[in-house]
Structure 1
């Protein structure tokens, strides 16, 4: 089926300059709308919110044909807030991807720079995460797990499995193999650059993928190290997923987990999702997710449901209505991803009307 709507992994390419040997391409994604949050710190709120169904991205892609099936490539990707026009995080450019490398038909791809890890490449871009179809950033993982205390994290558990792309690996070398009989694999290492300590501030990631027709299955592992108050913290993420398409319907399944080695906090989640292309101009998507933490995060758990109905004004532009609901155990406070203030109780609901386009 034609996956023309939701996946910014398959960004539409618009060439602003090209010649026989190579090209530079400018692409982008834009999403804006109005969201109603039922309980944010004890009160409901209606607000403009952007970068939800898809992130607001400005992306420069380049390639040069070197002959013999080999190409020089680069990718410079920035994320920004549509409401203010400021780049994020921290007002910096190219914080999502910034790499240069070689791509060969026979030997694979080797790249150097600031890059997404294989949880994103294998599981998200591999089409196993329901968030790629329904609700985007709201449908990534958060929940009542602030005691995860992940380093440099705005809520302690925001995007705790890193699948929203909030934690690329810096100063990294990354290799992705070509496909052999449907199988492919990849590995990367991020150099910490700390004098006298090779492993400090470093990161590593691995991915394994299989695709056969409309079926795909993927697995990935990532470990990052960060100094917290002079103490080295190691965060481990891993997961596996699959998807299958039949006719106008695609179903997805995903498992991911996180462990903070510094405090022993751990959370896992299992998710089922689906997309129904009702007609060329209509699509309905949704997910169900269950998240569970260990005793360090008070054995909290949460159920989360989301749904999204989209109408396509063109191949590039759609309007949508969406909702997401999270319910936790009693005594915990619900927190949907991207809502920076938790609910004052065990439930939280978001309803949204939005518009997204790409160029």
Structure 2
């Protein structure tokens, strides 16, 4: 009997040890607040909205120690709207992230729906990913620094830090029989951390972006007479470029912290290449061609006033060269905000953004102000203000 008891105890200890080497964590964010839009299609608008500073979400994150320095990992993350309980990302159950992978001393390899390398290495430097939320992001999030779009079917490698340097690459298979390049997405990037200095670079290349990238968030626009509908959204900053054969983004960014102050900056060069490809998306009446190029530059500053209170300001400049035969467009945007933490998990915040537009937009019309993810203005200027509360669990 004593021997039997010892054997049972040994088995129990072994099982406890196995459980101790693996973990699954439930986590999430609920972000809700009141918005004011000075010109939403010609009218003032007051409304509740979910997920401005951070997208409201819940997720599961797991790890298992496989021994010899090898670890299995997974993430399943679902976005939702607090106001109506509706799923985000076009109704996908795990539309924010869904991947599995292995990690070792040589780095991490993951497979599934993930972020691209521009997001991983540059998102942190844009004010939209800090205290500003999507209302302070670059117009139409044209360079995806604010992570509006994810990548399906992606194989990603991320290195371990080497002297402060981390690098990686990702490739998404297009999945089209007989055409390896169609719908393919690939990106590379690196970042460097050394005390108060942080810096990053990234490159993103997307074939048939209207379908593979903008249409990858669930419920893509229907195909009509063999031509895919537009998935580029309602912002006239980029909505006219659904027929681009290739999207290319080159970006760089950095930040330097001096005491309680942090200075940051980003730059991106975004091209909608070879417009007029009907296999990618609809072509506007009268046709469109060329390669419009956006140059975007942002400078931002934040100050940790107290351990619980941070405030910041930012300026963003966007210039679009325009398609062939079109004039250029310019967007100037200023943002300011403050975030006060009531506890480690709950904070209240406010953000204000002003945008002014000049020139001709992607649709060939006079450019109007179009703050990211808000209803565009009917004039060349727009003001948006947000008061919100965020809880993390």
Residues of 1 paired with 2:70 and 2:194: CA distance?
Answer: 25
Aligned to 1:115: 114
- Is residue 2:237 matched to residue 1:238? no
For residues 185-244 of structure 1, give each alpha carbon's deviation from its aligned partner in whole angstroms, at most 9, with x where no partner exists: 101110011000011111000001111112111000011122762777211112000011
Aligned to 2:158: 176
Aligned to 2:316: 289
Residues of 2 paired with 1:38 and 1:168: CA distance?
Answer: 30
For residues 100-149 of structure 1, give each alpha carbon's deviation from its aligned partner in whole angstroms, at most 9, with x where no partner exists: 00111x2000111111001110011xx3112122321111122xxxxxxx
Residues of 1 paired with 2:195 and 2:66: CA distance?
Answer: 31
**1:50 touches 1:81 (CA, 8 Å); kept in 2?**
yes
Instruction: Please list every run of 5 or more consecutive structure 2 residues that lacks an aligned counterpart in the other structure.
Output: 1-17, 212-226, 229-242, 276-290, 360-365
**1:35 touches 1:46 (CA, 8 Å); kept in 2?**
yes
Aligned to 1:154: none
Q: Which residues in structure 2 correspond to 1:54-73 (within 5 Å)?
A: 54-73=54-73
Residues of 1 paired with 2:331 and 2:90: CA distance?
Answer: 31
- Per-residue deviation, 1:262: 3.0
- Of 115, 126, 129, which aligns to 1:129? 126
Q: Higher strand fraction: Structure 1 or Structure 2?
A: 1
Please give the secondary structure, in 1, of the residue aligned with 2:180: coil
- Is residue 2:185 matched to residue 1:203? yes
**1:159 touches 1:337 (CA, 8 Å); kept in 2?**
yes
Q: Which residues in structure 2 correspond to 1:17-32 (within 5 Å)?
A: 19-32=19-32
Residues of 1 paired with 2:320 and 2:370: CA distance?
Answer: 14
Please give the secondary structure, in 2, of the residue aligned with 1:94: coil
**1:134 touches 1:286 (CA, 8 Å); kept in 2?**
no
Aligned to 1:13: none
- Per-residue deviation, 1:163: 2.0
Residues of 1 paired with 2:39 and 2:327: CA distance?
Answer: 22
Structure (1 or 2) with the larger CA radius of gyration: 2
Residues of 2 paired with 1:196 and 1:97: CA distance?
Answer: 28
Please give the secondary structure, in 2, of the residue aligned with 1:131: helix
- Per-residue deviation, 1:320: 1.5
The answer to which structure, 1 or 2, has the higher relative contact order (CA under 8 A, 6+ apart) is: 1
Higher mean alpha-carbon deviation, 128-137 vs 26-35, is at 128-137
Residues of 2 paired with 1:199 and 1:318: CA distance?
Answer: 45
Residues of 1 paired with 2:385 and 2:187: CA distance?
Answer: 35
Q: Higher helix fraction: Structure 1 or Structure 2?
A: 2
**2:126 touches 2:146 (CA, 8 Å); kept in 1?**
no
CA RMSD in angstroms, aligned pairs only: 1.7
Residues of 1 paired with 2:183 and 2:129: CA distance?
Answer: 30
Count of matched residue positions in the alignment of Structure 1 and Structure 2: 323
Q: Which residues in structure 2 correspond to 1:200-279 (within 5 Å)?
A: 200-226=182-208, 229=227, 233-263=245-275, 264-279=291-306
**2:189 touches 2:201 (CA, 8 Å); kept in 1?**
yes
- Is residue 2:346 matched to residue 1:317? yes
Aligned to 1:332: 367
Aligned to 2:336: 307
Please give the secondary structure, in 1, of the residue aligned with 2:391: strand
Aligned to 1:280: 307
